[in-house]
Copies of this chain bind each other. A is one copy, B any other.
């Protein structure tokens, strides 16, 4: 298993220079997040993830979770690591001080989450789901619910889940069968069965707070009749501690391809006591607070597993001796050259590097928007940030996980046959990553959300919110002495993006299937342009720092070379996506379903 080292240099390049988190924190009044504080958090967070979580990654995969008559035990060391994480103040870092959190900006919380998921994705699911539950309760809970649940969740004494999926429905939540019957005391009796519940049962906390989608007896059909309930595993007693056991139990855990140390549970609710959160029949709205959080987190798993894979691959490529360079021996004193001399190995490594660093830039760009949306006093700025977040969230989720899967597969390929062997740890990263394009809304669903709901649903407004930024950036840098040709390339694509969107929108007005036919390729097409914009922003900063002689010349040279690689070898992939979008829906829909297999 590659040993994780937090890529602090790249993180700081983004935080300090590309996005200047510090000025933004100052403008937003987040004065606790001083430059020194941020630096200390990065270093201490790195230590915790490198020393505590990373060593548990492979053992967690090998051991997996244990299920015994409703009791789930996590792999050795997981529970202790969670206690250390809470004790170190990592869990409540970005949580509301009113409920015991430290109130640091969301962006810092995300940076820590990146380190956590890079060192141990399965372990990161437990706090990750809890953070999602916290955000939903914070946004939609009553004061009493916040006092009762949010404090305990923030303190890491209790953990949280989101219970949506049932055996017959995952995407289509409108047809859930779990029922909530009002009780005389104002609570609800929840009955039904949920599947695929991450962290649904485990031994890491005193109590588990389930957020459960269910239908009231008189609920309208479909998604407009879903309500959200808090269903604690143990009901809070008079003093707010975990008391009587509630009617929820874990029926089994799944045997999965990856993230084996994350307990994926069947949860049976048998008249369990639940408490309505938010308004009746508006549960899906409440759940979306949580899902948007989760979708960013899931997108980051693509980045994180890609980073871990790159760290393994780059080490191996420098150490493994095999064949001579085509241009003549590079290590004549050795039996063969290290494989990094071979152009195709470099193609794989640079593809990994370009996606990882591009996806990290996308994550931090999005994280900064989260800060503005959460903290800005300016209503317009908040709304603009919300709009951009709405646009970017499905792209973060799907583009980063699809490219993350490509990256982890490349990392494994660099290892040759050894990549397929468990002890090297590279194949675990592929298996762990494979769920990310599926859960939290499949990437197909993200693409429909992007093109149908966000872009066309806003008559292009949400897209224009982003293309305007790119347009301004290109205009401002059109004459850049070194990078003007890339600026022109990006500017052309940015324009094409708008035109292509208009064409798809026109076609969709005549035939709604055009949206579904174009959506996945449209999302990937958009993702490549967005990463192009971010790579060029990084290149501009790197070029400026190189000229200023900032002391990080090597780092800046690598940024510029990787940016060039991205523009020359990865960005051109959009041609294939554009062709697929333009192919339209006929060639998908004309074949009757019964003729697919004969």
Contacts and interface: CB of A to CB of B under 8 A. Distances in A.
A344 B591 contact: no
Contact of A588 (B317, B346, B420): B346
Interface string A510-521: 011101110110
A580 B576 contact: no
A186 interface: no
B442 A413 contact: yes
A45 B278 CA distance: 61
A289 to B, nearest CB: 22
A257 interface: yes
Interface string A529-569: 00000000000000000000000001101100110110011
A338 to B, nearest CB: 7
Given A314-B597, A327-B513, A555-B598, A434 B427 contact: yes
A333 to B, nearest CB: 14
A577 to B, nearest CB: 9
Q: Which of A409, A580, A597 has the most CB of B within 10 A?
A: A597
Contact of A572 (B168, B349, B412, B579): B579
A41 to B, nearest CB: 21
Contact of A175 (B169, B336, B515, B569): B336
A503 interface: no
A302 interface: no
Interface centre among A9, A326, A439, by most chain B C-beta atoms within 10 angstroms, is A326
A214 interface: no
Given A175-B336, A413-B437, 14 more contacts: A169-B336, A172-B323, A255-B422, A317-B596, A343-B517, A343-B589, A344-B517, A346-B588, A346-B589, A409-B434, A416-B442, A557-B595, A568-B579, A569-B580
Contact of A520 (B171, B344, B512, B564): B344
Contacts of A405: 409
A310 interface: yes
B579 A421 contact: no
Q: Which 3 pairs show the lowest CB-CB distances between chains A and B?
A: A572-B579, A343-B516, A326-B512
Interface string A192-211: 00011000000000000000
A165 interface: yes
A283 interface: no
17 contacts: A170-B416, A170-B417, A171-B416, A172-B322, A256-B421, A257-B421, A326-B516, A327-B511, A340-B593, A340-B596, A343-B517, A343-B519, A416-B442, A565-B588, A568-B579, A569-B583, A574-B576
Contacts of A472: none
A419 interface: yes
A257 B430 contact: yes
A471 interface: no
Contacts of A565: 587-588
Given A171-B323, A257-B427, A417 B165 contact: yes
Interface string A441-480: 0111001100000000000000000000000000000000
Contacts of A576: 572-576
A258 interface: yes
A593 B430 contact: no
Interface in A334-387: 335-336, 338, 340-350, 353
